[in-house]
Homo-oligomer: A and B are copies of this chain.
C-alpha cells in the first residue's frame, strides 16, 4: 500500500509547495457533485442511498473491500435535511514523505536519486485520519479531506532526516546566498534590566532548546495555514463554498498528534479510562481572543457590533441604567452605565451551543469561510476565525495498549447528544462482543455509536433510546485501535 500512496503524493505535492505562483493544486478534482470518502468505495447506487436525508442509512467500509490501516473502524450518517448533502467528510491514509529535492533546501542533489534508503537514510511516513465538518456548503470540507494530509506531508519534507536523528534539531539550516544589506545599528541590544538582580542580566547568547515533537506540531500548524490559503485561492474562483471544522490525527515515529480546529472531538479510551485529546473552539471558549481582537481592531466590527459582552440584549429604553457586562480582559461580571454604543449587537452572543460570533457562526476555528459575511452587511467574519489547530501529543510507546484501547474521533453530530463516558461505555460493550483479533470490531463500534446518536425514526422524529431527540446533524466517527493486532502496518 505504501508504494501506491507514495506515487499519489509525489504527483500532488508538487502543486502544493511554497513556490511562488503555485496557485492551483494538481490534486484530484474538488467541488462538483456529491462525494463520500474514497475509502468507503461506494458504488453509484450506494452513493445515492448515502445521500438520503429521510432514510439516513449508516455507512461503513464493507468488510469485503479494502481494510483501513490499523483496522480502523468508521461509520457515518447524513443529516436529517439541514443541508443539501452530507457536509461531513473523512480521510484515512498512509503517507510517505519524500525529502525535498530543491537545491535551495538540500545541498546534496544525490538525495533525489531515489537511492536514499539504500544509503542508510530511512524513509519517513505517517498514518493519517481526518474528519471535516462543513458548513454553508460542503466545498471546503471536500477539498480539505482530499488535500490536508498532503500539506502536512509537504511541511514535513524538510524534516525527514532531522526527525530521525536523535541529536537536537539544528536551529539554523543552510539556504541560498542573498545579497546582504549593510549591517544596521541595533541600539536596544544593550538593555537596562528593571526586574532581576544585577547578576542575572539578559544573556543574549542564550539558545532555546527545541524538541523534535515541537517541529512536528509546527509542521501540522503550518499545514493547516497552507490549506486555508489554498481554499481562499479556490474560493476566489467560486469553486469552493463555505468552511469546515478540521480534526486531524497524525501517527509519526511512535507518537500520535491530534490537531483540532473546530468543535469536533477526540478522546482516547484506555483501560476504560477517558483521556481527552482535544477541546472545542467556540465563541464561548474563545471569547477573550475574539473580544481582544474586536477591542484592538474596532473597524472589524463595522460599527454594528460592540466587543463588550452583555448577558442579554439591551433595549433602547434602558439607556442610562446599569447593566452587567464583561470586557475582553475580564472573567467576572460588573455593572456599567448603558451608553449609546452598548446598544450595538454584542460580538459574542448566546450561550453554549447557541453562542454565535456576530450572530452568524458557532465555531471559531476551522478552514475556509473567507467569503462569510454578516447577513445583509459587508462585515467579514473570517478575521475572527482561526485556522490554526491545537495539537495534543500522545506517546504510544509509553504504555502497553490492549486491543480494547482506542482513539475515538467524532464530529459534533456525535457529541451533541452523548458524552465521553457514554461513548466509552458503548465502545467497550461492542468490543467485548467480538474476538480481540477480529478486525471488524472497530467498525462495529463506530457503527453502533452513529446508530445510537442518530436514534430511530418515530412519529415525532429521530428519537434516542431515552426518547430524547436524536442528532439531526451529520455524524461521522473513527474508532482507531491503539494496540490491536492490525497495528503499525
Contacts and interface: CB of A to CB of B under 8 A. Distances in A.
Considering residues A135, A172, A175, A391, which has the most beta carbons from chain B within 10 angstroms of its beta carbon?
A: A172
Interface residues of A, number: 111
Interface string A380-407: 0000001010110000000000000000
Q: What number of copies of this chain does the assembly contain? A: 2
Nearest to A197: B82
A198 B356 CA distance: 14
B175 A337 contact: yes
A361 interface: yes
A191 B386 contact: no
Contacts of A323: 171-173
Interface string A321-332: 111101001111
Contacts of A202: 349-350, 354, 356, 359
Interface in A146-194: 155, 158, 169, 171-178, 180-181, 183-184, 186-194
A424 interface: no
A392 to B, nearest CB: 10
B311 A197 contact: no
B194 A317 contact: no
A225 B343 CA distance: 24
A354 B205 CA distance: 12
Contacts of A359: 188-189, 191, 202
A332 B216 contact: yes
A171 B330 contact: no
A312 B206 contact: yes
A292 interface: yes
A312 B82 contact: no
Interface of A: 79-80, 82, 135-136, 155, 158, 169, 171-178, 180-181, 183-184, 186-200, 202-210, 213-222, 242, 289, 292-293, 296-297, 304-305, 311-313, 316-324, 326, 329-335, 337-338, 340, 343, 345, 349-351, 353-354, 356, 358-363, 372, 374-377, 379, 386, 388, 390-391, 472-473
8 A-B pairs with the lowest CB-CB distances in the bound complex, closest first: A217-B332, A218-B332, A178-B320, A218-B334, A208-B311, A191-B359, A195-B362, A175-B321
